[in-house]
Amino acid sequence: MTKIIQAPCTTMQKIKEKGIDRSVTPPIVDAIHLNIGLPMYEKHVLSNGVESYLFNMGTQDTMMVNWIFDAGNWFEEKNLVASATNHMLKNGTTNRNAFAINEHFEFYGSYLNRNCYHETAEVTLHCLSKHVQELLPVVAELINESILPEDELEIYKKNMQQRLKVNLQKNEFVASRMIEAYLFGEEHPYGRYSREEDYGNLNQPEVKEFFNRYYKNGRLVIFAAGVLPKNIVQQLESSFGKLPLKKHVGPESKLSFHASSEKKFRVQNSVDGVQGSIRLGRYFPNRKHPDFPMMQVLNNVFGGFFGSRLMNNVREDKGYTYGINSYLMNHIQTSALMVSTEAGKDVCEAALVEIYKEMDRLCNEPISEDELSLTRNYLIGSILSELDGPFQVAARWKNYILNGLTEEYFYNSVRIIKEVRPKDLQEVAQKYLNRNEFYELVVT
């Protein structure tokens, strides 16, 4: 015989006692009516002056540590030295070879990655919080004692030459690097790109010199996020505070552009291919310019998300492409407004006509309140998702700190998203969506 036990108080009863009726649909609140706050950090300065920003938050016992060096291609005197040096940080130290280094990080279930950009180069560690004390000293060893073996450099050169050969057959790869060269000039860090002979010309003495100057004795900033150990500051100090490192300052001088005098280009790259790659670009000020936050709103309407005008026109209405987008480059010194898409070779020119048509519409007609409301909600929702977790919060703060911005920039950007008027966006469009100021490239 089954015995039935009556619960003294059900969950629904408790909810109703608190005045919450789950049978009634709660009111829908637009994202723009939410008050968004930016979580703050704890800042500590190590003995050698290196700043560390800590974000102790999250529910899982995982964490991330990000070392950001002033070691991007902005600082190299010879093409590709910066990226080669960054890649080879895991390829051997005075105490461990490449296999031993990788075995150590894998043993603790961690992942160590490195990336090289224009102004900065990074080393990033993801691991369980309880294992970080076993991993930080090895990262310090990589930064201070890498030997950059010549045999590993030769392997890297051959691999990258082969990868480049494959990529040069892809129209989208060729288009992306050529449009930046047209915009900024091939000698500028933003416009410089790789050639097969550049990889062949890399040599160990130059890579070692770059390592000693920009890593071993370099400038950096540290970000740590997740469920951090209570003694994380002491661990960072123990592993990195005594090294000959210095505070991050970024590029200390601006370089002039030597852009192409021509603005329209047609390049034939793949005779047998069926698609062409379209790139449009023009200069735009960096994040410190007062127009930048408003341009982010306008760009979202133009081509910044799936419901943008470019997507509705070029993809949904005309069927010229699977996807098209516009975006602002995330450079520190200056930015650029870009449009990027792939389309059938026979419709590339027609797609360009539609892109320019959307620019003209934004210049000549104010955006409707409904479209602006959709954009506002999308942007605020994107910000909410980008603040969902310690790694995402650290990434946003990293962007602000590297660009010399404060939390005031965040709240001002949110205010502009909520308050910007159609007239304001039309004025920005008239200022920056002039078709004659765009570089135009089609690679087929």
* Tens digit of each residue's pLDDT (9 = 90 or more) over 113-157: 999 999 999 999 999 999 999 999 999 999 999 999 999 999 999
Domains of the chain, first to last: 42-247 (3.30.830.10), 264-443 (3.30.830.10)
Q: Which one-letter amino acid corresponds to residue 275?
A: Q
- DSSP state, 27? P
Whether 212 contacts 38, CB under 8 Å: no
What spatial distance separates the first Cα and last Cα of the chain, rounded to whole Å?
A: 79
Mean pLDDT of the chain: 93
What percent of the chain lies above the pLDDT cut of 90?
86
What percent of the chain lies above the pLDDT cut of 70?
95
Chain segment 394-440, per-residue pLDDT in tens: 999 999 999 999 999 999 999 999 999 999 999 999 999 999 999 99
* Whole-number Å distance between alpha carbons of 428 and 23: 47
Residue 5 above 70 pLDDT?
no
Whether 156 contacts 142, CB under 8 Å: no
Q: Which pLDDT band holds residue 27 (cuts at 50, 70, 90)?
A: confident
Q: What is the mean pLDDT of residues 180-209?
A: 95
Chain segment 42-92, per-residue pLDDT in tens: 999 999 999 999 999 999 999 999 999 999 999 999 999 999 999 999 999
pLDDT at 263: 93
Burial 230-248 (b: 16+ CB within 10 A, else e): eebbebbbebbbebebeeb
Q: Which one-letter amino acid corresponds to residue 145?
A: E
Burial 117-156 (b: 16+ CB within 10 A, else e): bbbbbbbbbbbbbebbeebbebbbbbbbebbbbeebbeeb
Residue 4 above 50 pLDDT?
no
Closest CA to 310 of 347, 349, 359: 359
Residue 24, CB-side half-sphere exposure with 13 Å CA sphere = 7
* Whole-number Å distance between alpha carbons of 21 and 44: 47
Q: Which pLDDT band holds residue 260 (cuts at 50, 70, 90)?
A: confident
Closest CA to 59 of 385, 394, 388, 395: 388
- Residue 101: count of CB within 10 angstroms of its CB: 21
Residue 13 above 70 pLDDT?
no
Q: What is the mean pLDDT of residues 178-185?
A: 94
| Cα–chain center distance at 9 | 51
Question: In terms of pLDDT, which residue wins out, 316 or 13?
Answer: 316
Residue 7 above 70 pLDDT?
no
The helix, strand and coil proportions of the chain, stated in percent and rounded to the nearest 5, come to: 45, 20, 35
* Stated length of the chain: 444
Radius of gyration of the chain (CA): 26
Q: If phi over 0 gives left and psi between -120 and 50 gives alpha, with beta otherwise, what is residue 19? A: left
pLDDT at 258: 79
Q: Which pLDDT band holds residue 251 (cuts at 50, 70, 90)?
A: confident
